[in-house]
Structure 1
Amino acid sequence: MLDDYGVSMGYQKAWRTREKALELARGNQDDSYQKLPIYLHTLKVSNPGTITHLVTDNKDHFKYMYLAFANSIKGWKHCRPVIVIDGTYLKTSFGGTLVTASTMDANSNIFPLVFGIGDSENDSSWLWFFTKLKETWRKRSYFIVIWQTGIAIISGRHKSIENAVENVYPKAFHGACIFHLLNNIKVNFSVRGEDLNINFVKVAKAYRVQSFEHYMNEIDKIDTRIRPYLQKIGYCTWSRCHAPTRRYTMMTSNIAESINAALKAARTLPITTMMEGLRSLVQKWVFLVNTIVYQVVVEDKGNFLVNLMEKTCECKRFQQNEIPCAHAITIFAKTRLKTYDYVVDYYKTTTMKATYESIVYPLPNESEWTLPETLNKIVLPPKSRKPPGRLRRKRIRSRGEPKVQIKCGRYPQPGHNRKTCRNEPIPKQRNPTKSKKLDK
């Protein structure tokens, strides 16, 4: 301000000015909570079939919110029966936690299912979220079957999530994210190294028990304390070949982390503005994807027996991912069978199109929003005390999580960037192919 405008001001005045400017651009955080009822009502009018829930305490302070878009409700029956759950904090003065549930479509793109907001990741908020998740698909017979048999829920090993899944979905399989589990091993046993990373990922993703035991023996050579620790957790929780139901290729909670990263900027906004940013993001994703669509053979291929009638192979990859493995594809090449006939519907073009046949519609201008008197509700900001100092924008890294090393763009050396680099840049080698063309 002093250099550009000749105005001298203190740090506190500059900070208050910035906060006022953000409020004028984004809206007031306190008033944003009162706009939630009319916003959610308008969202359901513009997108019929969308489900929302808003809960306040006995003094009208915001407590929980739940949102499932109509296209997500209709599209999930065409996706693999695996749900990835994760929560991330909101970067506002009132705090809170944004909870997401997502899966993958036929082309392995991220497909958001539901969103929720709670006070924190505690037992009551997670229990409420999973209860609403169950109510969303309760009336559809297809989902009743998979909830009771083959559904898989993947998340970090958060105790509150485990309790909620056990209470709401006692028959569902609850798997752990192998990335978080690997970090726990590094912290608990002070073990590092590329050998541990490679062998643990291989043992978790192994399709056969023989391969599982081979890589577990390699881990025993690194540290004998790791096997008892993993046995105590339960092999079925994190190992693909021991899981009671299919996890397909979803061994981590990476798709949930990707959603959190995409919403990084939106999480700093007032709650109603944040929800509109979230809706806009989902609308954009759906639009982009929308614009892109038995003969018995039993043969011994190598040392693996392939049965195309039952769609199985001794390598276990065929039945676990429900996509023909390399051994089955070799047979197709010899017998001229169509590989497409042996792929489950979750991966087919028709399924992909059906997943996104319902789109997310934008909302009208805010001046046109109307709320019926029966739905008129007072919503105050949640009870919280604003912490002193600046709000934290970056998340606290977990113990054992690797730090990102800065590397120089001019000189490939860690510890500094190209602005602070004092080394001479490495001269680029001339491409002999290009030089010949230039000579010609």
Structure 2
Amino acid sequence: MIHFVGDIYNIKTSNVAEFINAALKKARGYPISFLLDFIRENLSRWFLKRREDALSLTTHNTWGVEYLLAIRGHYADAMEVDRIDTWRYYVKGGTRNCIVDLEHGMCECGVFYIEKIPCSHAIAAALAGGIAVDSLVCPTYSKNYLFAAYSTNIYPQISEVQEVQPLICLPPDIRRKPCRRKKSRWQSWLEIARRKSKKPRNLHKLYSCSQCKQPGHTLPNCVS
């Protein structure tokens, strides 16, 4: 990943896999034909919902990017900008002073180059130079790209199933356990505590005697 020359986003494949497993949890105990139809219905509903959300956008970029630009623009108003040339600016303020290169989408803080979204330093430099902030955002975050990602329709299976040739298929030589099959993994005590919005219990509790109030022993072993 260090030598990867493309764009690296903050989305892990494991999180997407966990989401798909949770979405298909209700249908995993049914036959494979029902599972495939369940996946198709969910994908069709998700694609339709995201297409409608993309068409309802009144901004150039997606809602999440516009919200992020609004927050960063609030911090950019308190920064001082010194112009170096047409595209380069020296921005003072925030956690550190940075040199911003709007031509190549670079900032010394590194946020502008990684996220392809202007940081607070780049927004302050763009406002000082009279450059539109939306023009500095990568086109991938635009509403047109969002609509194009979900533009394909997913149709139901309406054609008749073709005749399947008979074929002997032996089951695998694996003996199934008599207990009920588990549909989800065992959660740790920390995950259960976070789900219940409670702090995890203290595993190393220091017991004390109820009679002499001294730690290290209990009442049956008290010498007082």
TM range (shorter): 0.5 to 0.7
Return the alpha-carbon distance in structure 1 between the equivalents of residues 192 and 160 of structure 2: 46
Alpha-carbon distance change, 401 to 278 in structure 1, aligned in 2, over 3 angstroms: farther
The question of 1:403 aligning with 2:164 is answered no
Return the alpha-carbon distance in structure 2 between the equivalents of residues 382 and 391 of structure 1: 18
Return the alpha-carbon distance in structure 2 between the equivalents of residues 329 and 406 of structure 1: 37
The aligned counterpart of 2:180 is: 390
Alignment coverage as a number of residue pairs? 166
The aligned counterpart of 2:17 is: 256
Which residue of 125, 128, 145 maps to 1:331? 125
The aligned counterpart of 2:35 is: 274
Deviation at 1:370, TM superposition (A): 3.1
Contact 1:306 1:327 in 2 (8 A): yes
Alpha-carbon distance change, 262 to 370 in structure 1, aligned in 2, over 3 angstroms: closer
Return the alpha-carbon distance in structure 2 between the equivalents of residues 274 and 356 of structure 1: 22
Contact 1:298 1:306 in 2 (8 A): yes
Alpha-carbon distance change, 306 to 283 in structure 1, aligned in 2, over 3 angstroms: same
After superposition, the C-alpha distances for 1:167-214 in whole angstroms (9 at most, x for unaligned) are: xxxxxx5xxxxxxxxxxxxxxxxxxxxxxxxxxxxxxxxxxxxxxxxx
Return the alpha-carbon distance in structure 1 between the equivalents of residues 30 and 6 of structure 2: 40
Contact 2:98 2:107 in 1 (8 A): yes
The aligned counterpart of 1:352 is: 146
Return the alpha-carbon distance in structure 2 between the equivalents of residues 251 and 393 of structure 1: 23
Contact 1:301 1:327 in 2 (8 A): yes
Q: For 1:330, give the aligned amino acid.
A: A
Q: Aligned to 2:190, what secondary structure does the other structure show?
A: coil
Return the alpha-carbon distance in structure 2 between the equivalents of residues 395 and 348 of structure 1: 38
The question of 1:292 aligning with 2:82 is answered no
Q: Aligned to 1:369, what secondary structure does the other structure show?
A: coil
Return the alpha-carbon distance in structure 2 between the equivalents of residues 379 and 352 of structure 1: 47
* Percent identity between the two aligned chains: 27
Deviation at 1:270, TM superposition (A): 1.2
The aligned counterpart of 1:304 is: 98
Deviation at 1:378, TM superposition (A): 3.8
Deviation at 1:354, TM superposition (A): 1.3
Instruction: Identify, as 1 or 2, the structure richer in helix.
Output: 1
Which residue of 107, 112, 115 maps to 1:313? 107
The aligned counterpart of 1:370 is: 161
Alpha-carbon distance change, 407 to 251 in structure 1, aligned in 2, over 3 angstroms: closer
Return the alpha-carbon distance in structure 2 between the equivalents of residues 346 and 379 of structure 1: 50
Contact 2:88 2:100 in 1 (8 A): yes
Alpha-carbon distance change, 402 to 313 in structure 1, aligned in 2, over 3 angstroms: same
Deviation at 1:264, TM superposition (A): 1.2
Q: Aligned to 2:89, what secondary structure does the other structure show?
A: strand
Higher Rg of the two aligned structures:
2
Q: Aligned to 2:185, what secondary structure does the other structure show?
A: coil
Alpha-carbon distance change, 379 to 288 in structure 1, aligned in 2, over 3 angstroms: farther
Return the alpha-carbon distance in structure 2 between the equivalents of residues 312 and 270 of structure 1: 53
Please list, as runs of the form range in 1=range in 2, the aligned pairs for 1:58-69 lying within 5 A after superposition: none
Q: Aligned to 2:146, what secondary structure does the other structure show?
A: helix
Name which structure has the greater RCO, CA cutoff 8 Å, separation 6+: 1
Return the alpha-carbon distance in structure 1 between the equivalents of residues 189 and 135 of structure 2: 43
Structure 2 unaligned spans of 5+: 55-84, 202-224
Contact 1:307 1:313 in 2 (8 A): yes
Q: Aligned to 1:268, what secondary structure does the other structure show?
A: coil
Instruction: Identify, as 1 or 2, the structure richer in strand.
Output: 1
The question of 1:283 aligning with 2:49 is answered no
Q: Aligned to 1:266, what secondary structure does the other structure show?
A: coil
Return the alpha-carbon distance in structure 2 between the equivalents of residues 379 and 266 of structure 1: 27
Return the alpha-carbon distance in structure 1 between the equivalents of residues 195 and 186 of structure 2: 22
Deviation at 1:377, TM superposition (A): 6.5
Return the alpha-carbon distance in structure 2 between the equivalents of residues 258 and 388 of structure 1: 29
Return the alpha-carbon distance in structure 2 between the equivalents of residues 250 and 390 of structure 1: 34
After superposition, the C-alpha distances for 1:7-52 in whole angstroms (9 at most, x for unaligned) are: xxxxxxxxxxxxxxxxxxxxxxxxxxxxxxxxxxxxxxxxxxxxxx
Alpha-carbon distance change, 246 to 326 in structure 1, aligned in 2, over 3 angstroms: same
Structure 1 unaligned spans of 5+: 1-172, 174-235, 237-241, 416-440
Q: For 2:87, give the aligned amino acid.
A: V
Q: For 2:29, give the aligned amino acid.
A: T
Alpha-carbon distance change, 322 to 362 in structure 1, aligned in 2, over 3 angstroms: same
Computed over aligned residues only, the root mean square deviation of the Cα atoms, in angstroms, reads 3.2
Return the alpha-carbon distance in structure 2 between the equivalents of residues 253 and 408 of structure 1: 23
The aligned counterpart of 1:340 is: 134
